[in-house]
Structure 1
Amino acid sequence: MRFSRNATGTVFVGGALSLTLVALAYPAMLGLDKVSTAQDRVIAQTQWGPLTEQDRDFVVKVRAAGLWEYPLGFSGVKNGTTEEVKEAGRHLIDGHAALDAACRKIAPMLNITLPNVASPQQVAFVNQINSSTGREFDSNFANILRITHGSIFNTIAKIRSTTKNSLVRSLADMANNTVLDHITVMEKTGFVNFDQALFQQTTPPKLPDSDLTPPAPQPGEPMVVLSPPANPTSTPIAIPGEQPNGNPAANPSPSPTTG
């Protein structure tokens, strides 16, 4: 992976990955299966509405998704054997750069700490895809990403329909559009095995939380930023009360208080 750092210490990520072979990995909802059973305990009262544990988990997991899918976008562009796979890679880069910017924008507003690396399970997905070549790469790329995007799709809908926090709703709107786009471009590659994908999507193995949870950043660690492509097409997140130029509205309410 290629890293660059700006004057503020922020780390920007780009380029392709070259990683080692791992055993076959089955997506397990990326840790977001917790949403169906997570407590809806309010952890903070904010000017955008109450923030629950599952709201916070959603923001963290959207960020973590980009930390492994964004670099795989570069792998798809570089290693895909068809134009459809390369185009799917470009969509991953564009979509997750925009979602990453949204997460980094709202996280401090909601007092949420974001990870800088993906979960162990997600790293295993990257390893498996990048250890393959040719048509095997195309198949692993399309199927694993179709399964993981399909598994998160229903979770996004649940968050969108239940959260009382307007910032989380805005992120869910954006994530819904992005994930649907990524599902679509993976299917257009022609490599998706739907029987296998739907089976693994709906019957994931039970993995320990440590495999599904991205580690917290170290104190003082610079924030990793997924830089957008030269000509991004994704629409930036709409922040309630924000002016069109991106500046906050006049007389903003106080910052959230943690409960």
Structure 2
Amino acid sequence: MRITRQATGTLFVGGALSLTLAALAYPSMLGFSTVSAAPDRVIAQTSTGPLTEADRDFVVKVRAAGLWEYPVGQMALRKGTTAAVRTAGRHLVSGHAGLDATCRRIAARLNITLPNKPSPQQQGFVATLSSDTGRRFDSDMANILRTTHGQIFSTVAKIRATTENSLVRQLADQANDTVLDHITVMEKTGLVDFDQVLFQETTPPKLPSQDLTPPPPAAGEPQVALK
């Protein structure tokens, strides 16, 4: 996957992973600033239970996370200067490969179209880390990933507590374990600036919706699989 650099005013831009979906096939808007007004609205009745906007939002959200965190994990394996950073990279790669397989299986059964590329904001994270070297890479990776995983953690819990769809519950269970694992390995690097991370988690800057929206796949485009 080719990822281009996105200019950003700060490394840690909040709201990377929150989505709002306006159509069953593909979300039109993503981001904390554009959360759906009716997340509990049932958009489809399926054999595994009703599917709400929030459920569909969550499946796309997990897919979008993997599309940028997986390549960051690969970078950490190549560029990490400490064993702890390289371990964190291995956890990113394996965790998101597993989540991606589940997302693609669930999306096929629930008729949800998944993105093949991350949002411009998420591409910006990748571009920043692509240009980093040495200890700067280690520190930026630990803090960016700790911030974004902290933001998604509460969303996973909410979906698990409220969804009536058994497939979405399965994904939420897996995502809960994976996100907690990734939070833990980032903290074990010893590089997390908790004051900065907690500030970014709780007061994310507002970005234009187009920066938070993964582009829809082109007609006939093969689905990207994270292996």
TM-score in same-fold range (> 0.5): yes
Structure 2's unaligned 5+ residue stretches are 19-31
CA RMSD, 1 decimal: 1.7
CA shift for structure 1 position 20: 4.7
Map of 2:15 onto structure 1: 29
State the alpha-carbon separation in 2 of the partners of residues 38 and 120 from structure 1.
Answer: 26
Map of 2:73 onto structure 1: 73
Structure 1's unaligned 5+ residue stretches are 3-16, 228-259
CA shift for structure 1 position 212: 1.2
Cα deviation per residue 1:200-251 (whole Å; 9 max; x = unaligned)? 0110011122111211101100010101xxxxxxxxxxxxxxxxxxxxxxxx
8 A Cα contact 2:100 2:226, kept in partner = yes
CA shift for structure 1 position 28: 2.0
Over 3 Å counting, the alpha-carbon distance change for 1:143 and 1:152 in structure 2 is same
More helix by share: 2
CA shift for structure 1 position 39: 2.9
Map of 1:98 onto structure 2: 98
8 A Cα contact 2:5 2:126, kept in partner = no
Map of 2:214 onto structure 1: 214
State the alpha-carbon separation in 2 of the partners of residues 64 and 141 from structure 1.
Answer: 17
| TM-score in terms of structure 2 length | 0.89
8 A Cα contact 2:142 2:189, kept in partner = yes
CA shift for structure 1 position 129: 1.4
CA shift for structure 1 position 40: 1.5
State the alpha-carbon separation in 2 of the partners of residues 151 and 140 from structure 1.
Answer: 17
**Pairwise mapping of residues 113-192 of structure 1 onto structure 2 (< 5 A)?**
113-192=113-192
% identity of equivalent residues: 66
Over 3 Å counting, the alpha-carbon distance change for 1:202 and 1:124 in structure 2 is same
State the alpha-carbon separation in 2 of the partners of residues 21 and 165 from structure 1.
Answer: 36
Cα deviation per residue 1:118-164 (whole Å; 9 max; x = unaligned)? 01110001111121111111000000000000000001001111111
Cα deviation per residue 1:101-124 (whole Å; 9 max; x = unaligned)? 000101010000000000111000
Cα deviation per residue 1:175-203 (whole Å; 9 max; x = unaligned)? 00000000000000011000000000110
| TM-score in terms of structure 1 length | 0.78
Counterpart AA for 1:194: F
State the alpha-carbon separation in 1 of the partners of residues 109 and 70 from structure 2.
Answer: 24
